[in-house]
Amino acid sequence: MSTRQIVAFAEQHIAPFCRWFNTLPGNDLWTESSVRLRTIHDPTYDPQLMIALEQDGVPVGFLLANIANDTGWIRAFIVHPDYQRSDIGTAMFNTVEERLSRRGVGEINAGWAVPNYFLPGIDINYTPAIVFLDQRGYQTNRETRVNMEVRLQGQDLSTVSEEGELAHQQITTRRAQPADADSIRDLCVRHGAPEWAAETMRALENEPVTVFVALQQGQLCAFATHSVCGPVHFGPMLTDPELRGKGIGTVLLKHCLADWQSAGISRCEIMWAGPISFYARAIGATICKGFWTFRKTLIESS
């Protein structure tokens, strides 16, 4: 007789989770390193909330949750195809929802997470996942977030002429340095995006650094980041609102894409893309995925 057991998500689960996650349609970009950063190396990792369900010692399902800002978050869940429709998902959700409720967490979000997420939500093409969440009482406002795809092969990413125009306005661009951290953080906070600072700080630790910055008269005024939201994913990017429309974002975007192009990567994705018209015009990006987020009340407020 087979036995099932819920255990903490651990190092030995990284490889199977990565393999299964990459089999989802259009989701073949993840590496074990990027999974590790969002699970056991994540600052909110909790072995009671990031779990695996094993049958006879072999993992058959994963649910990765955390607590941040007094809220529960489910950043990913997946069941091995051979074990779907066998109550694996139900058992994992029951466990995590109960554990969150016991800690007094009143609300849970599904599909993404802070501080680190895999995707902006549940892909609207994943009908079984949406049906499952709906049946468990999760609600969505159907506001759609999108990723955009960029084909890098043959793309002209030269920025010589654009940088010449920026130079006349005393604006220069370069690859970021760790010493830029405080200036990037200040820019994010001043313009209401403190969570982007946390993501970009991680990119400053990459080798080489996967952040490019723009400076006007020596003052940092914009940045663009890649390979932090995912292994071949672009973002976040921020330009001082007073300097938008000058082409700064286009130059920084192309610098990031050129890194991938020189590494032989043929396609990338812009995560949670917006404004859509900017990316379509600047580098011919096209919408490739749409996502919904879901929310459930665990404890009614008095």
Residue 202 lies in a domain: yes
Same domain? For 41 and 119 the reply is: yes
pTM over 0.75: yes
DSSP string, 24-54: STT-TT--HHHHHHTTTTSTT--TTTEEEEE
pLDDT in tens, the chain (302 residues): 789 999 999 999 999 999 999 998 878 789 999 999 999 999 999 999 999 999 999 999 999 999 999 999 999 999 999 998 889 999 999 999 999 999 999 999 999 999 899 999 999 999 999 999 999 999 999 999 999 999 999 999 999 999 999 999 999 999 999 999 999 999 999 999 998 999 999 999 999 999 999 999 999 999 999 999 888 999 999 999 999 999 999 999 999 999 999 999 999 999 999 999 999 999 999 999 999 999 999 988 65
Q: Which residue, chain included where needed, has tokens 């010589």?
A: 160
Same domain? For 96 and 11 the reply is: yes
Looking at residue 143, the DSSP 8-state letter turns out to be: P
Cα separation values, 218 from 161, 180, 187, 263, Å: 21, 11, 14, 30
Residue 276 lies in a domain: no
Same domain? For 202 and 231 the reply is: yes
91 in Cβ contact with 38 (< 8 Å): no
Same domain? For 8 and 95 the reply is: yes
- Structural domain count, the chain: 2
Token pair of 97 as six digits: 């929802």
Could you tell me the residue range of the domain that residue 256 belongs to? 153-265
Cα–Cα nearest to 110, from 145, 80, 72, 61: 72
Same domain? For 129 and 171 the reply is: no
Residue 275 lies in a domain: no
Same domain? For 31 and 120 the reply is: yes
Residue 231 lies in a domain: yes
